[in-house]
């Protein structure tokens, strides 16, 4: 029942991307408050709530350092100081315009082109804050391995507590939980297309990173602090 923390990208406050993400998922990760969800033709309110249930718990974000519990001897205050110091040495950048993509069984927004600066930021976050991460226990390792990992992904899981880091990292802003079939995925994609089209025309500013916190395993993640990349 210990708290968990994560280092995430979250859209800049007041941006159109932030407003869309909050409306789509039905929750504001900064305030923790519910937000009325979109009213979409062909997609009932109940269905929308169902397909966004899983990502709603995490808030609208892109993962940089996956969720972790604090290692023995580490504190939340020390983690905050470390993230602040890290961010102060980094310079903001723009990622390429986004595009709507099907990733396995779920939908997400992803960069339309490779973004080496974003990949490097994520890799540096994985390494820089790993001393704060408690090692994954046997149950967590087994749960991850059920997804069917490659040999390299399994090694990354053992080294860093998560299989999709470093060269296996693919930045994405998750929009749905797993969707059961291709027909459902295409229906949701059709409903999403006109909503995300205006957000996919311009590069996306990456000017800060966020420390997210989860009080316990049953609680949603919230933004605990935002740190400007002002190096």
- pLDDT 10s digit of each residue in the chain, 231 long? 789 999 999 999 999 999 999 999 999 999 999 999 988 887 889 999 999 999 999 999 999 999 999 999 999 999 999 999 999 999 999 999 999 999 999 999 999 999 999 999 999 999 999 999 999 888 889 988 987 899 999 999 999 999 999 999 999 999 999 998 898 899 899 999 999 999 999 999 999 999 999 999 889 999 999 999 987
Is 210 among the domain residues? no
Is 175 among the domain residues? yes
Quick one: pLDDT at residue 123? Answer: 98
Domain extent for 198 = 4-204+219-228
Residue whose pair of structure tokens reads 């937000």 in the numeric block: 35
Quick one: pLDDT at residue 41? Answer: 81
Is 195 among the domain residues? yes
Is 100 among the domain residues? yes
Is 67 among the domain residues? yes
Report yes or no: 225 and 86 within 8 Å, Cβ to Cβ.
no
Quick one: pLDDT at residue 177? Answer: 96
Report yes or no: 83 and 69 within 8 Å, Cβ to Cβ.
no
Quick one: pLDDT at residue 137? Answer: 87
Is 145 among the domain residues? yes
Quick one: pLDDT at residue 131? Answer: 98
Is 50 among the domain residues? yes
Quick one: pLDDT at residue 150? Answer: 95
Residues 45, 47, 50, 53: what is their CA dihedral angle, to the nearest 10 degrees? Answer: -50
Quick one: pLDDT at residue 146? Answer: 87
Quick one: pLDDT at residue 207? Answer: 98
Strands 98-103 and 173-174: unpaired
> Total structural domains in the chain?
1
Quick one: pLDDT at residue 220? Answer: 97
Is 178 among the domain residues? yes
């Amino acid at each position: 029942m210990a708290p968990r923390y994560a280092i995430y990208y979250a859209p800049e406050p007041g941006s159109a991307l932030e407003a869309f993400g909050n409306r789509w998922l039905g929750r504001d990760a900064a305030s923790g408050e519910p937000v009325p969800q979109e009213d979409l033709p062909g997609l009932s309110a109940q269905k929308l709530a169902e397909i966004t249930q899983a990502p709603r718990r995490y808030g609208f974000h892109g993962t940089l350092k996956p969720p972790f519990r604090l290692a023995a001897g580490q504190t939340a205050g020390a983690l905050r100081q470390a993230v602040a110091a890290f961010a102060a040495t980094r310079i903001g950048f723009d990622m390429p315009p986004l595009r709507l993509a099907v990733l396995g069984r779920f939908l997400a927004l992803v960069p339309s082109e490779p973004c080496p600066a974003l990949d490097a930021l994520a890799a540096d976050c994985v390494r820089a804050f790993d001393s704060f991460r408690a090692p994954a226990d046997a149950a967590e390792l087994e749960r991850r391995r059920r997804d069917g990992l490659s040999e390299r992904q399994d090694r990354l899981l053992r080294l860093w507590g998560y299989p999709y880091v470093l060269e296996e990292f693919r930045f994405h802003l998750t929009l749905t939980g797993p969707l059961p079939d291709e027909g459902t995925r295409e229906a949701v994609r059709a409903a999403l297309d006109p909503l995300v089209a205006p957000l996919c025309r311009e590069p996306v500013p990456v000017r800060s990173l966020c420390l997210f916190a989860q009080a316990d395993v049953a609680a949603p993640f919230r933004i605990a602090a935002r740190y400007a990349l002002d190096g």
